[in-house]
Structures are given as structure tokens and as C-alpha cells.
Structure 1
Amino acid sequence: MTVEAGTQQERVAGRVWAVRLDAHGRPSAGTVRLSCSRPACADQHFSSTPAGRKAAVEHVNMHLARIRADGGPRGEAWCGCRAADCAWHTSDVLTGRRDGARPAEGTVRCGGPVVLMVHANRAGRLWRIAETCVRCAAAIPDCRVLDTAPPPRPAPAPIGAGREAAGKPETGREPTGGNVAAVFSDHAPSPLPPSASASASADASSPAAGSAVTPGARTASPGGAPQRAKRWGKIAQRTVPHDLQPDVLRVELTELGDAFRAYQQRAEPDLVVLAELHERKARAFALWADVTGDGTLRHEAHRARKAAQTTLEMHENRVGGPIGTASGNGPVVERLLTRQQAVHARTVLGHVQDHAPHPEAEVHLAVLLLTLRAARAGIGNITGQDLTAWLQGDAERVLEQLVAADWLRLPGTVTEALASRPEDPTAVTVPTLLPEQPRPFVFGKTTHSKISGWAQKAVGDRKIRKKKLGAATRLLALYSAAHTRPDGRLGHAEDDGLDLDKAAAFCALQPEEITGHAELLIAADWLAEADTTGGRLRGQLTERVLPLGGLL
């Protein structure tokens, strides 16, 4: 990089190589994809996880050999862990705190020489090589330091600079007679006492040497002119002012904007990286709002925080969770609903139970179907095929009950509604869901569509249809799927199953009748096991229906 004459060499961002193993294709196939963050490295696919891990280790070693051939880690690089907001380690490792509380501003700093480190996560699906400072390397769990960079050479001073600058040595460095603020790779100022300059080189390699002068650290002369013009940048269509204070905020916003633009150039998305960027943006914009008093910045911070949460949920929904073992060697489940969408789905089921006009399984099933169609505006389209698929031979009787109870309003007769076709559906109205009524649901169009598709797949499961199971059994199948943990077990871990009375009320059954319907679901390969003793419904979904699980 080009710098002004008489200043130290500009430091560059620390390099990071990330090698990942992800599920690929159908979960039952067991294939994995090996991807590398370097654009020149093409994705590879393997038939099993052990083969993918072996190839990943070979790929990591290939990069390490190239790094050594190119001269190893660079002493002028910024800490790569700091570029990721130090998310690779916990802050209490650096601060010594054990309570998990967030440290005060400026108490956590990078420091020491630049090292080349490598570490892998415990699940054996992510390997990371990076140029970091020695303090971050010491704080990252299971990290191995492979090489240490030599100190960077200071930029040569121009000819005659020593004669023109009064009181300055010809090396171009500032005198150290007073306190000098050394800016480390986290851009946090650290006061340096005069006595520390003599022992700085001896302490530079110690992780605890937070106030020592690190190789290549930029120094600012007290009271003097800035050595170079401050950078300004853009993020979220906003210009970062060049005079924004504190300086650490300006630098973070500028670098964050660059990071978002670099992410957009990636060949393939990485939702974990994107979530980290959104988290950094939320913190930076919240601080920016505190400094300027701009309420729109605080709103943008809230949006970034929600985006980070949604992105992580998308990643979890895409990758799924390991089944069977805690080591992550089991099959990966591609979930139909995210965790938050499953929360909304359970809200719909609760609304159906509370607002069904008759305690009858067929009525509950019809109320569920019509509620999903009219959830957002109180009006929805439906065809005769939809009604007969869900209610079979009871469609006419059930619709007449709902119309008589004024729970449902039709533009014509029940017979006309049952005769409607997809090209000319019937617009039905559910008065309790009209916009002028209190809104029971707060989800948007995408979540509404996902929940509707989830319910359709559960109620219309092919094995349940093949066994010709009734409305109560299908309601129990839907209820059990909505209340499962990631491993397929029913209910929260601390609850030991589902409350039998609540499950029976949703299915319009007596609690003692649940046992017979649970056995029907076992025969239909929906439940692997079931137990109704002690007033609880315990059991587990079979592997084939795990994608319908509600992720409690």
C-alpha cells in the first residue's frame, strides 16, 4: 500500500482461510461438501463424512505449505481475529472475568506479534487458518500457533527529513519523551508510560503485555498534525463522517462497510459469516446513535440485530442438527420450519383449539384449514378439492356447522363451495380474523406460507392417507410434530413429554383415547414409540418425519 513520506508502513488485514464441511443433497444420502473461503478453491463433494474430513485436513495442509513458501505470516498484518470482532474466543479469557458479563470498553485489546495459527471446531466440520495477534491466539480454544512473524521494518524516511523536521531524528520516528498512544489492531488507544519503552521489545511476545509497543504499531504525536488523512467510508447507504468520534467507531464503520461489500462478491453465501457481520453492524450503529442522538441509527441497529438472528435461524434450518450422537456424525435434517416459524405454528394451533365452535375432531381440522387460509386478512380462497382432501366425506356437514355458528361466512351455498375448482375458488370469510378485530397472529407472508405448507404435509402424509386415519389421528400427528425437540423427542427435555389433557383437547378426544390414536401413528411410521402413563404423552418421531419437527 502507498503511504505518505515519513510515516510508518500501512498495515494490511490479516489473512484468513476457512475450510468447511456441510451436508449436501438429500439427508439420507450422507454426502458432504468441502468448501474453502478462498475463491480459487472449488467445492468438492464426498460420499461420507470421514472421507470429507480427510480431504479437509489435506486441503488445510496444502494451504499451510503455500503460506510457508510465501514467507509465512506477515508482521505488518492486523489481527484477523479482530477483523471478525474477536468472535473466535470468549472475552473473559482476555479479561480474567468469570461471570460472563461483557467487559468494559477498552479492557480487551489485541497485542503482541503476528502469528500464524490453525484451529478446528469440536464437531470436526470447520478448520480455520489465520494471521492473528499472539493474545487472540492464546485465547482461542484448541488453537495451535505454527509460526511467528518477524517485526515489520519501518518505512524509510525521505532524504533530508532529519534536517527539515526540527527536533526529530532522521529515522522518522517520534520522540518518546512523553506519553504516546499506541494504536493496536483493535484500534483502542493504550497509554504508554515512558519507562515502558526500554522493555517493550522484551515483553512483546507475552499475551499479557497489553501496554507494550507491538511491532508495527502506529503512533500518534501528542498535539501534532495527523500523520495521514483519516479514512471515510459508506455503510448501509450512509456516509461515515471523516471526523466522527470516537475514532474507533469511525474505523469500525468504515471497515464494516468494506466487509459487507466483500461478502457480496463471494461466490457462495456463508450465513455464519453474514450473521457475524450483522451483529457487528448492530453494535456499531447502536454506538453511533448514542454519539449523534440520531434515532434512525438506533432503528437500523435494531434491524441489524433481527437480521443476525434470522440469518442464524436460516443457517440452522438449512444445516439442521445432528441426530443420535453428540459428536455431529449423524445424518443432517433439513427442517421445514425454522425455530421461530415453529413458534408461530404453535400459536396457530392454540388459536384453533380456543376458537373452534364445536368440540369435534372434524370441526377442529376444518377450523385449522380455514384459519391458515384467512390468517392474514380474514379472507382466503379455498376449493372443493381442499375441503374434501382434509375432511373426506364430512366436508358438507362440517361446513354447515361452521356457517350456522357464524364462525364462517360464504358468498354462496355450501354446495357451491364444495363444487368450486382451482380456476374459480371460493372466497371465504372468517369474521374473527378480519383486520378490525384484535390480531391473533403477527407473522408475515413468508412465514404464513411456510406454516401452511407444513400443516398440509403433516395432515396429508402419504402413510397416514394410505392407512385412512381419521381426523383425530391426523390432528394428533400434527400436534406431536409441532411439539418436538431437535432429536425428535416429544416435549421439552425438562417436561418429560406432552401434557395428555392439552393434546386431547386439541384433538377433541378424551385423554384416555390418546393411547389408541398414538398406536395408529406408530403403525403409520409416524411415531417410533409412545407412552401415555402418568398423564404425559411421551414418544419420538420416526426419522422419515423429522423434517416436520417443530424445534422446541
Structure 2
Amino acid sequence: MTVEAGARQEERVAGRVWTVRLDPYGRPSAGTVRLSCSRPACADQRFPDGAAAGRKAAVGHVNTHLARIRAGGGPRGEAWCACRAADCAWHTPDPDAGRRGGARPVTGAVRCGGPVVLTVYADRTGRLWRIAEMCARCAAAIPDCRALDTALPPARQGQAASGAAAEPEPTDSTARAVDSVAALFSDHHPSPVGGTSSSPATGPTPVPRARAATLGEASGRGKQWGKIAQRTVPHDLQPDALRVELIELGDAFRAYQQRTEPDPALLAELHERKARAFALWADVSGDGSLRDEARRAEKAAETTREMQNNRVGRIIGNTGNGDEPVVQRLLTQKQSVHARSVLEYVEAHAPHPEAEVRLAVLMLTLRAARAGTGNVTGQDLTGWLQGDAEHVLDQLVAADWLRLPGTVADALASQPESPTAITVPALLPERPRPFAFGKTTRSKLSGWAQKAVGDRKLRKKKLGATTRLLAVYTAAHTSPDGRLGRPEDDGLPLNEPATFCTLLPHQVAEHVELLVAADWLAEADTTGGRLRGHLAERVLPLGGLL
């Protein structure tokens, strides 16, 4: 007896479904997975050893259920197709339609047919296994679905089972004695149970072969179709390894989006694979837009790697031997580049060469960098400039570099609840913009400079504006390991920090000694026209990452 589309569901029993799932459990970094089964009698299991152990246990659990079903008489010929009961959602034309909110096929438009078969389905990501009784046509239409056994027609099934009541779930001792059912999964892991079998007594009704374009069963090539980056991977794309890689990448990106916590290292690896795959796809197809997508993926991988370096607090360019300092950086590498661009701007545009003026210009520029306006308080100004605040502000206002809504005295008396609104005309939007960073980076840079200039040990030593400028300059020009200058260079040319701090080269050594005494620099040397040194461990987070 075949399952006809017009048959009434109330005349049949519902097709049985067993669903086994593998999900993360607890914190993703712990690597623990949970195995759950839709059967109430099956308790959840947890595997701290990771997904590989969980998948092995899941395959064993599925085969245990298959053995029990086989011992209980196999699939039932009078069962209603379980796929049809789910509105045939298991073989929708577009696997992503449900996730995008697309409509499922109309029930009346789905034509079930063929004998009832026992099927097993395993998704390619190794997270879901499903055993179901369904019609042969639905089984053939579901990707990665295998028909293991075919039900007898109901009349013959009744004869074969006369005098014996078939139990859907036999005891564990009976299950262990059965070893005639094997499942073949899409991840190609062998089943612990050997052999395949069809129903006893009489030969089964032939099961339609799965569509090769969907299942690829004969060739073993897996899924022929997929999506990545809103592009459909052609089913006939060559080479075949590229098609498989693109499909798997699309699945991997969608799986990543379901994670409860981000993993920048994993995401960077996916972007790198995508860049390589799209570059090859562009070569074989001649589509220039694919090459653009590959370049975007390369950039995304680079940015994500940088995010990971800042997230875990390790230096960039580490050797991976575990000996590198673990530092929670205040600025990213790109933000450090912007910080150095601000220092160059201050050196070129400060209206007076005095160190006190340059220090004020630096801090006020960072407050007004985006819109030409910003807020300061009297506490800010006196903290930066100490007893020189009034004189420096008078100079900036007289040079029209700074505009205040009132007098300098009013600005120095302003409180945090009513700060002074400053205007820097050279940074107003109608002027050419000297900086390319956004408001978030501006805020980060301002906080970075404030931490450097307002360092507690520098304040305790009552170091002047010149020494503070040198502190800011050294912090902005360090390698990832905290040494001054780039890794391949021998420190910094002595004339560069001297020019920024309005000093002569031979005067730099005096201020370097003050920074060493204040535990800003762990060591320093100014011989041979070079400034060599190393940031103290306490200020490594302020390092600028050359």
C-alpha cells in the first residue's frame, strides 16, 4: 500500500521521528558539548572533550535507535509520511528560506508517494541527526538523507507480524543483540554497526533513487548547491574542490552567526579561506566582482586578526612560544597610526614653539578633532599646564588658534557640570579636514593622551610640559614589545623627539633620565645620535604599536 497525497491522515498513524542534536554547553571556550535526543527516555549527555567525542557518541546513539527500530519490526507500512506532517519543510527548494522568513511549500502542492521507508539524515556540520518514517519520494528529495529500510505493504506486514505484537522500543538487551542495521552519515564516519538489510519475508517495493543533483550519492561529492555572501554556488562549478569549499564556507559562516559568543580567531580564519576561494572563483569565471569580494575578505581577515590581538591582550607579531608579554592595549595598531598623525599635526601647526603651548595644542586638538568644537574644564587645563595655564591660553586666544565663549579666567573657573565650550577654527568642518578618524577613535585617542599626560608618577615628580611631551612621544613610537622605534631599527633618531619637544638633541638625555626616574622608561640610552629604550611594564598598555 503506497502513501498517496490524498490519503486522510486520520486513517494512518503518524510517522515516527527521532532527533539527535549536538549543541555547545556552557562557555564556548570550555569546548563542552551537549548531546540531546527527542525521545523523553533518553537523558542528555555532556562531553567536555569537545565536538569530536560528541559526534562519535551521537552516531552510536543513532545506531542504537536504529537497532531498536529494526528489532521492533522496522518501518511501518501504514505510517503517515513524517516529512509531509512537517509540511515537507525538510526538502524545501531553498534551505535558507526558513531562516529568511520565506514561505514553506503549500501542503496541497506536495505529492508524496512510494512505500514508507526508514531514513536517517545527518547535516554536514555534524550537529543534527534525524531518523524518520517517510515516503520514498520525500526521502529522495532530502539532501544527505539515506533510506535504510523499506516497509512491507500493510497486508503482508500484518501476516508477517501475526501472533507477535511489535513494540516500537524494545529493551536494551534486545537492542544489543541486533546488529543488522547500519547508518551511512554525510560526514563519512563509519557506523559501529555492520551491514544493511531490507524487510524480511518478502522483497521490498523499490525505492526511487535520490536525485544525483541534490544528494550526489553515486559520486560521493556531497551537496551540489549552496550559498555564500548572497551568491549561489553553481552546481557545475569546476574544479570540484572549489565548489565544495565554497559550499562548506557558506555553511561555516552561517554556523558562526549562531554562536553565543564571538571568536575572532575562527572568524579571521573563515575570512582568509573565503579570500582564497573567491580569488580562485574569479580566475575560473572571469567575474571581476568576485575578485573585489576576495579583497574585502582579505581586509576583513586582517581587521579581525587585529581585533583578536587586542581582545586577548597579546602583542602583535608574537612568536607563539608563550614568552611574549600579555598586555591589554589601550589603542589598536590603526589607532596608533592616527595618534602619530595628531602628533605630527601639533608639531606643524602649534602657533608658538614653547613646550607648554604644544602640550595645550595637543590636548585641545584631540578634544575638537572631529567638529572643531569641544568641552574642557578648569581642572583639565590646570592639570595639563599647572601654573602656566592662564599664560598659555592667552597666547592661543591672541593667535586666534583658540576661541572661548568668555574670558580665560572664566574657562579656568569652569566646573565639570558646566564645562567651557571651546572652538578651534582650523578644525571646523568648512576647513580642510586634517584627520581621517571617526568619533570613537577620537575619544580613544583623547583618553590615551590624557592617561599619558596625567600619569600619577609624572604628576608626583612634578615633571614639566617638555618631559610630558617626551613621554607622549615615546609611548606613540614603540614596537609591540615596548622598545622605542620599529623592531628592525636601532631606536629613534634623536633629532625627532627633540624637534617635537622643542629641545636640542643633546638636551633630550636630561629629560630621558627624568622619565627613567619616574618609571616611565625601564632603560634608556642616547648615544650615537639615537634614542634607545624600553617602556616600563606599567605603561606598556599605552604603547603605540609601530
Cα distance, 1:420 vs structure 2: 2.5
Alpha-carbon separation, structure 2, partners of 1:325 and 1:244: 42
CA contact (8 A) 2:272 2:301 kept: yes
Cα distance, 1:251 vs structure 2: 6.2
Alpha-carbon separation, structure 2, partners of 1:152 and 1:298: 47
Equivalent residue, structure 1, for 2:254 = 261
Cα distance, 1:506 vs structure 2: 1.1
Residue identity opposite 1:535 in structure 2: G
Equivalent residue, structure 2, for 1:487 = 481
Equivalent residue, structure 2, for 1:393 = 387
Alpha-carbon separation, structure 1, partners of 2:451 and 2:367: 15
Equivalent residue, structure 2, for 1:142 = none
Sequence identity, in percent? Answer: 61
- 1:100-146 deviation line (CA, Å, top 9, x unaligned): xxxxxxxxxxxxxxxxxxxxxxxxxxxxxxx9999xxxxxxxxxxxx
1:463 aligns with 2:454: no
Equivalent residue, structure 2, for 1:313 = 306
Deviates more, 1:320-329 or 1:441-450: 320-329
Equivalent residue, structure 2, for 1:273 = 266
CA contact (8 A) 2:355 2:465 kept: yes
Cα distance, 1:374 vs structure 2: 1.2
CA contact (8 A) 2:32 2:48 kept: no
The structure with the largest alpha-carbon Rg is 2
Residue identity opposite 1:406 in structure 2: D
Alpha-carbon separation, structure 2, partners of 1:339 and 1:463: 26
1:3-82 aligned at under 5 Å gives the runs 35-40=29-34, 60=49
1:104-115 aligned at under 5 Å gives the runs none
Alpha-carbon separation, structure 1, partners of 2:535 and 2:251: 46
Q: Considering only aligned residues, what root-mean-square deviation do their CA atoms show, in Å?
A: 4.8
1:209-248 aligned at under 5 Å gives the runs 216-217=220-221, 231-233=225-227, 238=230, 240-241=231-232, 246=237
Alpha-carbon separation, structure 2, partners of 1:384 and 1:333: 33
TM-score by length of 2: 0.60
Cα distance, 1:458 vs structure 2: 0.8
Alpha-carbon separation, structure 2, partners of 1:438 and 1:428: 19
Equivalent residue, structure 1, for 2:404 = 410
Match among 516, 533, 538 for residue 544 of structure 1: 538
Residue identity opposite 1:384 in structure 2: G
Cα distance, 1:375 vs structure 2: 1.0
Match among 505, 521, 528 for residue 534 of structure 1: 528
Alpha-carbon separation, structure 2, partners of 1:398 and 1:459: 17
Equivalent residue, structure 2, for 1:87 = none
Q: Counterpart of 1:539 in 2: which secondary structure?
A: strand
CA contact (8 A) 1:485 1:549 kept: yes
Residue identity opposite 2:343 in structure 1: L
CA contact (8 A) 1:364 1:508 kept: no
- 1:236-267 deviation line (CA, Å, top 9, x unaligned): 6x4x4476773767766654444333223223
Cα distance, 1:289 vs structure 2: 12
- 1:64-83 deviation line (CA, Å, top 9, x unaligned): 766666679x9x99999xxx
Deviates more, 1:271-280 or 1:281-290: 281-290
Match among 319, 323, 329 for residue 335 of structure 1: 329
CA contact (8 A) 1:161 1:172 kept: no
Q: 1:34 to 1:269 in 2, by over 3 A?
A: closer
Alpha-carbon separation, structure 2, partners of 1:427 and 1:231: 60
1:445 aligns with 2:436: no
Equivalent residue, structure 1, for 2:490 = 496
CA contact (8 A) 1:384 1:418 kept: yes
Q: 1:40 to 1:396 in 2, by over 3 A?
A: farther
Equivalent residue, structure 2, for 1:199 = none
Structure 2: any 5+ residue segments left out of the alignment? 1-21, 36-46, 63-120, 126-184
1:56-455 aligned at under 5 Å gives the runs 60=49, 216-217=220-221, 231-233=225-227, 238=230, 240-241=231-232, 246=237, 255-282=248-275, 287=281, 303-321=296-314, 327-329=321-323, 331-455=325-449
Alpha-carbon separation, structure 1, partners of 2:298 and 2:275: 5
Alpha-carbon separation, structure 1, partners of 2:512 and 2:282: 56
Structure 1: any 5+ residue segments left out of the alignment? 1-14, 20-32, 42-57, 81-130, 135-146, 166-170, 175-181, 185-212, 220-229
Cα distance, 1:334 vs structure 2: 0.8
